[in-house]
Structure 1
């Protein structure tokens, strides 16, 4: 049995959908940002909080858990600045609680969803796993703190972990039954698509004077199903007994500017966006592009879906689930 905490959220639910055909899965989620309808019917669902020791222990008593995957962090950068207590309590303290109970129950395989936010504003063109980590907000700090816990625990206890640092997760499952559904929505692609479908009057582009070909920020977008498949590859190795204790970047290795994303959304939808150009946001780097060669060399994983496919799948999801 595989325990997926945060399995009702955007990335977690896509992972569960990919996993349930090959493994028995139990999902724990408090539904603060996730959705019950997003959890595949083949999975067992338990509503509960990661910080509740009794709930965690009951799961370990009820099921023979072989590995735990953690998708249950809060992840809004702006909110983390306004309310850091919320982020340290959930992202750090609750994760410590989970790891402590795992240790007490001799459950040793752990995969952690981390983030490119741990790198802060890197001074390199392509970000690899050796790039120094200097997060610039409480969200990034909270993720890096958990990463450090995992390194320390693995040295002292029999913990076998993998940290996967995501860049910009995007897109939706090809079925269009699950997809990106946040409240509030802060990610570029769903915001543009919501606008093109009449749910927003306009979209804002923050800064047009960056040192990039068209002056707008460049980011590395990766399809959420590609992310899910990377987790399964890593999970299979952990369950086969391979000692990893490693960090891997998950990205396309290709950067797309804000303007390129908007143009592609217009192409896919056949609609024209009303774009408002405003000043830069503080802390936005000009470019964030992943080097994911490490996971390719060790596991043969590469992102398969390009920007057109990412946006086409997201648009299908938004069209089919306008009322959700």
Structure 2
């Protein structure tokens, strides 16, 4: 059985939907940012916190867990700056509790969801895993701390891990049944689609003087189901002893400006957006684009969804759910 911590969240729920095809799954989620409606009926659900050693102990004592997949982290950059305690408590201290508990029960395989925020503001156009890690906010630092802890635990306790650094997860399941539903919402594509549905008055563009063809910053988007497939490939490689104790970027290798994303959302929806230009946000890099050559070479992963398909899947979900707002 596989324990998925945070399996009621956006990315975790998409992973579980794919994983139950081949594995028995136990979900641990406190539903603080996840949603009960995203739970997959074929998985066992336990409501609880990853920092609760008793709940974790009960899971490991009850179910034959062979690996853990960790998705449970606070992930809002702005909030992490305003409330760093919350981020170090949940993302680091609670993660230490779950790592200690799994090792105590002789479970030594973990897939860890990390972030491109560990790179900070890189001075290269395309970011590979060899780029230096210089996070500029508590969120990125908290993720990098766990990456370093995993490395230390591997040396000291024989822990086996694979770290997956996401760039911009986007889109919804092709069925339209589950999708991106954050409260508050901070991600660009759902913000645009909520605006086009009439749930927001406009879409704000932070900065129009970046070094890009239209002056807006550039990001790399990858479909959430492609991310789920990457996790399963990583899990299989880890369990079979083919790969361990390594880091992979997950992105598309292509960058799109904010205005290009809005243009495509308009094209997919047939609606026109009201764009409001605002000042740059502190710490926003001009360009973040991933190299995924390593994960392609070692795990055989390629993103399958185009940017248009990403937006079409998200639009399908948002129209069906009215944004759930």
**TM-score (normalised: structure 2):** 0.99
What SS does the corresponding residue of 2:322 show, helix, strand or coil? coil
Q: Report the CA distance between 1:244 and its aligned residue.
A: 1.1
Aligned residue in 1 for 2:262: 262
What SS does the corresponding residue of 2:319 show, helix, strand or coil? helix
What SS does the corresponding residue of 2:153 show, helix, strand or coil? helix
- The yes-or-no answer on 1:231 pairing with 2:231 is yes
Aligned residue in 1 for 2:72: 72
Q: Report the CA distance between 1:237 and its aligned residue.
A: 1.4
Q: Report the CA distance between 1:240 and its aligned residue.
A: 1.6
Distance 1:197 1:88, change over 3 A: same
What SS does the corresponding residue of 2:277 show, helix, strand or coil? strand
Q: Report the CA distance between 1:323 and its aligned residue.
A: 6.0
- The yes-or-no answer on 1:172 pairing with 2:172 is yes
Q: Hey, what's the Cα distance between the residues in 1 that align with 2:323 and 2:122?
A: 39
Aligned residue in 1 for 2:106: 106
Q: Hey, what's the Cα distance between the residues in 1 that align with 2:19 and 2:37?
A: 17
Aligned residue in 2 for 1:96: 96
Would you say the 8 A contact 1:160–1:243 is kept in 2?
no
Q: Hey, what's the Cα distance between the residues in 2 that align with 1:279 and 1:31?
A: 34
What SS does the corresponding residue of 2:68 show, helix, strand or coil? strand
Q: Hey, what's the Cα distance between the residues in 2 that align with 1:301 and 1:112?
A: 17
Would you say the 8 A contact 2:181–2:323 is kept in 1?
no
Alignment of 1:286-305 (within 5 A): 286-305=286-305
Equivalences, count:
324
Aligned residue in 2 for 1:247: 247
Q: Hey, what's the Cα distance between the residues in 2 that align with 1:323 and 1:277?
A: 24
Aligned residue in 2 for 1:49: 49
Aligned residue in 1 for 2:2: 2
Would you say the 8 A contact 1:171–1:224 is kept in 2?
yes
Q: Report the CA distance between 1:241 and its aligned residue.
A: 2.8
Aligned residue in 2 for 1:276: 276
Q: Report the CA distance between 1:39 and its aligned residue.
A: 1.1
Q: Hey, what's the Cα distance between the residues in 1 that align with 2:227 and 2:315?
A: 19
Q: Hey, what's the Cα distance between the residues in 2 that align with 1:315 and 1:232?
A: 26
What SS does the corresponding residue of 2:26 show, helix, strand or coil? strand
What SS does the corresponding residue of 1:233 show, helix, strand or coil? helix
Q: Hey, what's the Cα distance between the residues in 1 that align with 2:244 and 2:235?
A: 11
Would you say the 8 A contact 2:193–2:265 is kept in 1?
yes
Q: Report the CA distance between 1:242 and its aligned residue.
A: 2.9
Would you say the 8 A contact 2:118–2:141 is kept in 1?
yes
Aligned residue in 1 for 2:20: 20
Would you say the 8 A contact 1:108–1:160 is kept in 2?
yes
Aligned residue in 2 for 1:125: 125
Q: Deviations over 1:279-317 (max 9, x none)?
A: 111111110000010000101101111110000000000
Would you say the 8 A contact 2:212–2:218 is kept in 1?
yes
Runs of 4+ in 1 over 3 A off after TM superposition: none
Q: Hey, what's the Cα distance between the residues in 1 that align with 2:318 and 2:258?
A: 20
Q: Report the CA distance between 1:243 and its aligned residue.
A: 4.5
Q: Hey, what's the Cα distance between the residues in 1 that align with 2:239 and 2:94?
A: 24
Aligned residue in 2 for 1:58: 58
Q: Report the CA distance between 1:171 and its aligned residue.
A: 0.2
Structure 1 gap segments, 5+ residues each: none
**TM-score (normalised: structure 1):** 0.99
